[in-house]
Structure 1
Amino acid sequence: MTIDAMMAMMILRECKIITANKRFRTCRFFCYGSDLKPPWKILFFGNDSFSLYTLKMLSDDQKCKPLVKNLEVVTSVKMWSKDVVKQFALERNLKYHKWPLRSLKSGDFDFGIVVSFGKLIPESVINKFSLGILNVHASLLPRWRGAAPIIHAIANGDQMTGVTIMKIKPYHFDVGDILHQKEIPLERGINAIQLHNKLGHLGAEALAEVLNDLSRYVKSARPQPTENATYAPKVAPVMSYINWETMPSEKICNISSALVKVYDLVAVWNKQLIKLLDINEYGTPVNDDDFEIGGVQYNKNISKLLVKCQDGKWISVGGVKIAGSKVISATDFNNGYLKKQPKSMRKFTSYVDNLCKKS
C-alpha cells in the first residue's frame, strides 16, 4: 500500500481539528485592514494525502458555515485510483476542477489555498483571486524549500521541524512572505509516515489560526530570509544507496526512516545487489576486533544482522532482499549466505563504489 493510500485511510478515520478562516490576495493582500471578515469563497489546490488534512478541516468548517461559504477543489493527478483529493471531493459533494484551470473568472473566489500541489501557479491565475493564495508547507521555511521537505528533514537529522503558512508568488516555489509558523521537535527515530501525519494535522491547525485572525497575521507577515535556505528536491533512488565508508550509523538510520515505504536501502553482498530492511541503531557494545567497516555478523539473541558503520558503531538489520529474490529474514540470510563465507568475506560494500568501478 502506498504512503498516500495509507495516509488517506488514516485521515478519513480521524483528523478532527478546530477550524477558523479569513482572507487575502497577492498585491492587495497586504493593503487591506481589519475589515477582512468571513465567510469566504475558497478554491483549494492539492494532490495527495498531505493535502487532505487541510481540505478536511475546510470541508468540516463549511458544514456550519462560520468561515467557509463555498469550497471547491483543484487537482492535477491524472489517474483516478491515485487521486485521493478528487475522491474526497466527490465523497463530500465538493465541486471538482482539473488542472490547468480553463474557466476561472475574477471574483469567483476570495482566495485560494495550496497544499502539496506540486505545480507552479501562474500570475494570471493568482490575480483572479481578489485576496490571493496561501500555501501550507511542511517545513520551517526557508529550510527545505521544495517537493520533499519531510523526507529531507528526517534524512538530515534535523532536531526541529514544523509548518509554514506563506503567501504564494509566481515563478518560484516556496519563496513567498511568511504569515505564520508552528514548530515541533523532530523526535529521533520518527519515520516519514509518522511525521507526515503530525505535520498534516499541524498544517491544518496553523492555517485555521491564520484564518481566524487574518488581519493580525497579514500585518506581521515577513519576507523569507535569503540566508540559510535549503532545498528538498524530489527523492531519487540514489538517496537509498548506503556508503559504508562515509555514513555513520545515525545517518543510515535517518535515511531509512525518511525513505520508509518509498525505497529500501541498497548495498552489495558478494557482488550481488541487496536491499536492507528493518534498520535500527544498535547501542549494545559489540566485539568487533575482526570486523572492517561494512562487516556483518549475526546476533542470535535478537535474530538480526549487525553491520559495522563508518563511526565504529553498529546498525541492526531485520531482513534482506537479494536482487531477483523475495525478502528473507536475517536468520535465513545468516544460514543461507553469511555462514557460507569466511569471516574475512562477511562484509557489505557500497553500491556507489560498484557503480564507480563499472564506469
Structure 2
Amino acid sequence: MAVVATMYVNSRHAAPLCRSWLLAGRRLFSASAPASGLRVLFFGSDDFADRVLRALEEDRTGTHPYIDHLEVVCPKSNYKMKGTKKIMLYQSPVEKLAIKKGLIAHHPFGSSLSNWMIPLFDGGRTHGSFDIGIVASFGHFLPGRIIRGFPRGMINVHPSLLPKYRGPSPIQTTMLNGDKTTGLTIQEVHPTVIDGGKILAQAPYPIAENSPYGQLVSEMGDLGGELTMKVLRDLSRVRELSVEQDGSQATHTRFFRREDAHIVWEEMTAEDIFRVHRTFYEKEPVHTCMRIKNKVKWVQFLELSVAPQSIAPLNADFASFPPGSVFWAKKVPYVEIACLGGSRIHATRFRVSGKAERDTFQFISGYVKGWKDMRMITRPIQTKHLTPPFAYPEGYTRPTSFTDAYGEGASRSDYCAKLAARRTDKDPGYGLGDDGLEKKHYHKFSKDNSKKESDDD
C-alpha cells in the first residue's frame, strides 16, 4: 500500500527509536500542528488500549496540546459483596488509568450498544459535543448511528497490518503463528464490517525473539499511541490519501479459551508448547495431566523453555520414550519432558491443581521421585485402567537417537498454526472481549475446582 503512511523502525533498541514517515516519496504529516481544541471520546478496555490512552493523555497535559478534552468509555467494574465489604472482581486497565488521571469514565450497559447514546460533553456542564471517537480494543461492535454521532467520525487503532488478522486477538495470533513482523493500523471505523474500514496509516514493527505477550502488547500500545497522535494532527490530509482494504486478502482471528493453553502431546513439538506459553502464560499457563497412583491431576507449567541442542538430554536414551515422558536428575534445576519430533522442554516452576506453586526440586520430591518412566498425558483417563500407550500421528517417524532427533529429518508440527486459524461459529469480531482473552476463561486452579483431586503428599 504505497499511498498509506508507513512507519519503518530502523532499530528496535534505539532510544529513542529512529523512524521515518513516508508516503510514496512525499512527506505526509505536517511539521507544525494546527490549532488545538480537539475533544476526544476514547473507547477501550485492555492493556493495549491503556497504552494508547496514555499517549492521548500526555498530549492533553503537555505544553502544546492538540487534545483539549478527553473522556473514556470502558467496561464497568465488577464487584461482589462479602458481608458489608465490597470486593473488586475486575476493573479494566483503561478505567484504572482514567481514575488515576481524573478523566470522566462512561460505561455501556449490557453486551450491545444498540440502545447506547453518546454521552454529553463534560457531563453536560459545558455546551458542545465530542469531535471524534477513538477506538482501541474496546470489545463492542459500534453501530453506524454512533459513528455518525461524531462530526469528525471515528478511527480505530488495530495491532496488525490490516487486512491481515482482523478480529479480537491479532497479537496472540501473530505470536502463535511465529510471525517475525507485526504492525499497527489506524483505520476508519466501518459501520458493518469489523476492522474493515479505510486504512489511514500503517506502521510495521519487528517482533523480538522470544518476547512474551505482555511485552509485545506494551510496545504495540506505545506505537499505537504515537501513530494515533500523528494521524490526529493531520487528519484531513490523511483521509484524502486513505485506501480501501482488499477484503479478499483478509484473515480473521478468534476468541481464545482456557483450553487453548492445553498441551496436546500427540500434536505439539517443544517449539509449539513454548509459543503457547509465551502467548497465554499471563492469563492461563500451559497445562496438562499427570497420573499419580490412582489419581489424575492437572499441572500447570509456570516457567519453561525449549531445551537447546547444546545441552545433552538427562536420559541418553530419551528418543525411545514417547512425548510427555518426564526426566529428572539430582541437583539439576529443571524437569525435562520429551516432545514430538525428538524435541524437549525444560520446566522450572509448576502448580498442581489445588496446591501452591512449586519449584523443580519440590515438584520432583512431591510427585516424580520414586516413579519410574512417568509420562504426562493429554487428557484425564479412567484410573482403574492402565495408561494407554502413546498414539503417534499417522506417518510420524520416531527418532532413534539424540543426533537423529535434531537432524534434517526431525518431524515438525503445525499445531500452533492450526490453533490460530480455527474459526468460531459466529461471525468473527462480534461480542469482542479484552483483546480476545475473556477473563472468565482464565481462572487459577483452586481447591474449589479440585476437591476430588486432593494431594497425597
Shorter-normalised TM range: 0.7 to 0.9
Determine whether 1:296 maps to 2:326.
Answer: yes
For residue 29 of structure 1, what is the aligned residue in structure 2? none
> Could you tell me how far apart the structure 2 residues matched to 1:41 and 1:156 are?
39
Q: Is the helix fraction higher in 1 or 2?
A: 1
* Shift, 1:66, TM fit: 3.7
For residue 243 of structure 2, what is the aligned residue in structure 1? 222
- Choose 328-337 or 272-281, whichever is displaced more: 328-337
For residue 56 of structure 1, what is the aligned residue in structure 2? 54
> Could you tell me how far apart the structure 2 residues matched to 1:78 and 1:122 are?
23
Q: 1:39 to 1:244 in 2, by over 3 A?
A: same
1:93 equivalent among 94, 98, 102: 102
Q: 1:212 to 1:249 in 2, by over 3 A?
A: same
For residue 285 of structure 1, what is the aligned residue in structure 2? 312
> Could you tell me how far apart the structure 2 residues matched to 1:89 and 1:326 are?
34
* Shift, 1:302, TM fit: 4.2
* Shift, 1:49, TM fit: 2.7
> Could you tell me how far apart the structure 2 residues matched to 1:289 and 1:88 are?
52
Tell me if the contact between 2:162 and 2:245 (Cα under 8 Å) persists in the aligned partners: yes
Aligned residue for 2:239, secondary structure, equals helix
Q: 1:352 to 1:238 in 2, by over 3 A?
A: farther
Determine whether 1:272 maps to 2:302.
Answer: no
For residue 342 of structure 2, what is the aligned residue in structure 1? 312
Q: 1:276 to 1:90 in 2, by over 3 A?
A: closer
Measured against aligned partners, the alpha-carbon deviations of 1:137-173 in whole angstroms (never above 9, x if no partner) come to 1222222222222222212211111211111012332
Aligned residue for 1:254, secondary structure, equals helix
For residue 164 of structure 2, what is the aligned residue in structure 1? 143
For residue 102 of structure 1, what is the aligned residue in structure 2? 117
Determine whether 1:194 maps to 2:209.
Answer: no
Q: Partner letter of residue 89 of structure 1?
A: A
Aligned residue for 1:337, secondary structure, equals helix
For residue 364 of structure 2, what is the aligned residue in structure 1? 334
Tell me if the contact between 2:263 and 2:287 (Cα under 8 Å) persists in the aligned partners: yes
> Could you tell me how far apart the structure 2 residues matched to 1:55 and 1:91 are?
12
Tell me if the contact between 1:47 and 1:77 (Cα under 8 Å) persists in the aligned partners: no
For residue 269 of structure 2, what is the aligned residue in structure 1? 248
For residue 175 of structure 1, what is the aligned residue in structure 2? 196
Alignment of 1:14-53 (within 5 A): 38-53=36-51
Aligned residue for 1:351, secondary structure, equals coil
* Shift, 1:301, TM fit: 5.7
Tell me if the contact between 1:318 and 1:329 (Cα under 8 Å) persists in the aligned partners: yes
* Alignment size in residue pairs: 321
Determine whether 1:165 maps to 2:174.
Answer: no
For residue 347 of structure 1, what is the aligned residue in structure 2? 375
* Shift, 1:177, TM fit: 1.4
Q: Partner letter of residue 91 of structure 1?
A: K
The unaligned stretches of length 5 or more in structure 1 are 1-15, 18-34
> Could you tell me how far apart the structure 2 residues matched to 1:144 and 1:103 are?
29
Q: 1:174 to 1:299 in 2, by over 3 A?
A: farther
The unaligned stretches of length 5 or more in structure 2 are 1-15, 18-32, 80-87, 122-127, 383-387, 389-457
Q: Partner letter of residue 181 of structure 1?
A: Q
Query: RMSD of the TM alignment (CA)?
Result: 2.7
* Shift, 1:58, TM fit: 1.6
> Could you tell me how far apart the structure 2 residues matched to 1:277 and 1:330 are?
11
Percent of aligned pairs with the same amino acid:
28
Tell me if the contact between 1:193 and 1:260 (Cα under 8 Å) persists in the aligned partners: no
> Could you tell me how far apart the structure 2 residues matched to 1:72 and 1:333 are?
49
Determine whether 1:324 maps to 2:354.
Answer: yes
* Shift, 1:132, TM fit: 0.7
